[in-house]
Structure 1
Amino acid sequence: MQRIFDDMLHKNIEYYVDDLVVKSKKREDHLYDLRKVFERLRRYQLKMNPSKYAFGVISGKFLEFIFRQQGIEIEQAKIDTILRIPEHGNIHELKTLQGKLAYLQRFISNLAGRCQPFSRLMKKDVPFEWDEACDKAFKSMKPSVLVAPVHGRPLILYVAAQERSVGILLAQKNDEGKENSLYYLSRTMTPNELKYSPIEKLCLALIFAIQKLKHYFQSHSIHLVSKANPLEYVMIKPVLSARLAKWYLQLQ
């Protein structure tokens, strides 16, 4: 599928394994986009399942998410499943919770940082003791619906580095000048990354954002917001270590 639709991916279509979605910005363009996809399918002798057809819809389910013109939403059933997990459960229920949250991480700010209180409970030979920090972390993880970006309008990229994790927020101003959150990203640092200086941790956060959000950057100008300037640190430093040289190439 990647090879067949390479020139159309993230423009007119999205796919996962054998699921295919054809999308159009305007109703009058949709028939043209469909025809182009069908011609491509015919050329490569691929068949589609008639029972799964849905033409001209303004919303639909794809990869367990609800896609609408206004943005991407989480199925209420998935939220309810998370909320039904007991707060003072056991190690098995905690692993189940983290697995479900990982799938919804784009909807939850600083998920890696919020999950830090659970790390201790996941270690072997450690008694499962649910304390106040775990309780606070659990209650803070209620997914919120984000909106989709407006094509061509500038994006705002917030990067932050905490003591043990990095966090990303991609936002965009709406017609009223208010910022809408588009995408959250976060991850914990490896033992080696924990030794980085504060500015290097910000560089790490920026590289992480570029790797994960590259498809957004291709059609938008980006305004970077952070406590220090990681771009300046990497791009104008006269002597680069191997790590900084690698980051420099990724920022080109």
Structure 2
Amino acid sequence: MQNIFDDMLHKKIECYVDDLVVKTKKREEHLADLQIVFDRLRKYNLKMNPLKCAFGVTSGKFLSFIVRHRGIEVDPAKVDAIQKMPPPRNLKELRSLQGNLAFIRRFISNLTGRCQPFNHLMKKDAPFQWDEGCQNAFESIKRHLLNPPVLGLRHLESRSYCT
């Protein structure tokens, strides 16, 4: 797919393995871009599953994230799963929590720092003692996820200041 749509990638489409999103700001452009995509799919004898297609939508799920005009948002189902998790009682449950957090890490600022209190529990042969520091970190992460950020593209024509 990367080779087939190389000239359109990151401009008019986004592609990951066999998932494809055609992105445009105007309906007329969208129809023209879809025509190009359909022509190329036909040329390379690639088929689409109509049950997995959505056309002309302003938002949708792509790679388990919600993509909208204002940016990329975490899937509320992913947040809900973490919110409903009780504190881990053993290493297996802690690893499950960390796996869920890793998937949405870009929406949690300083996730590594926030998870630091869990590190001592991950050491080989360490007893699993969920302490107050772990509980505070766990609750802090959950609070942060009550209002996760929307990730958007920076407008290249606007000024940026780094300090």
Normalised by the length of structure 1, the TM-score is 0.59
Which structure is higher in strand share? 1
The answer as to whether partners of 1:117 and 1:133 remain within 8 angstroms in 2 is yes
Considering only aligned residues, what root-mean-square deviation do their CA atoms show, in Å? 1.7
SS state of the match for residue 35, structure 1? helix
| 1:100-127 deviations in Å (ceiling 9; x for gaps) | 1011011000111111111110111111
The answer as to whether partners of 2:65 and 2:74 remain within 8 angstroms in 1 is yes
The answer as to whether partners of 1:13 and 1:20 remain within 8 angstroms in 2 is yes
> Which residue in the other structure is 1:60 paired with?
60
Matched, 1:24 2:28: no
Residue identity matched to 1:29: E
> Which residue in the other structure is 1:250 paired with?
none
| Stretch moving more, 103-112 or 87-96 | 87-96
Higher relative contact order, chain-length normalized (CA < 8 Å, sep 6+): 2
Matched, 1:149 2:87: no
SS state of the match for residue 140, structure 1? helix
- Give distance in 2, aligned partners of 1:93 and 1:66: 27
Mapping 1:132-143, distance limit 5 Å? 132-141=132-141, 142-143=144-145
- Give distance in 2, aligned partners of 1:14 and 1:70: 16
| 1:79-111 deviations in Å (ceiling 9; x for gaps) | 111112222521111100100101101100011
- Give distance in 1, aligned partners of 2:31 and 2:97: 42
| 1:183-237 deviations in Å (ceiling 9; x for gaps) | xxxxxxxxxxxxxxxxxxxxxxxxxxxxxxxxxxxxxxxx433xxxxxxxxxxxx
Structure 2: unaligned runs, 5 residues or longer: none
Q: What's the CA shift for 1:128?
A: 0.7
Q: What's the CA shift for 1:59?
A: 0.7
- Give distance in 1, aligned partners of 2:15 and 2:78: 22
> Which residue in the other structure is 1:6 paired with?
6
Cα 1:69–1:51 shift into 2, 3 Å: same
Normalised by the length of structure 2, the TM-score is 0.89
2:162 alignment partner, one of 195, 219, 224: 224
Aligned length: 159
Q: What's the CA shift for 1:151?
A: 3.9
- Give distance in 1, aligned partners of 2:153 and 2:20: 21
| Stretch moving more, 105-114 or 143-152 | 143-152
> Which residue in the other structure is 1:188 paired with?
none
> Which residue in the other structure is 1:90 paired with?
90
Cα 1:150–1:224 shift into 2, 3 Å: closer
Q: What's the CA shift for 1:24?
A: 0.5
The answer as to whether partners of 1:85 and 1:93 remain within 8 angstroms in 2 is no
Mapping 1:30-41, distance limit 5 Å? 30-41=30-41
Q: What's the CA shift for 1:75?
A: 2.1
> Which residue in the other structure is 1:218 paired with?
none
Cα 1:155–1:64 shift into 2, 3 Å: farther
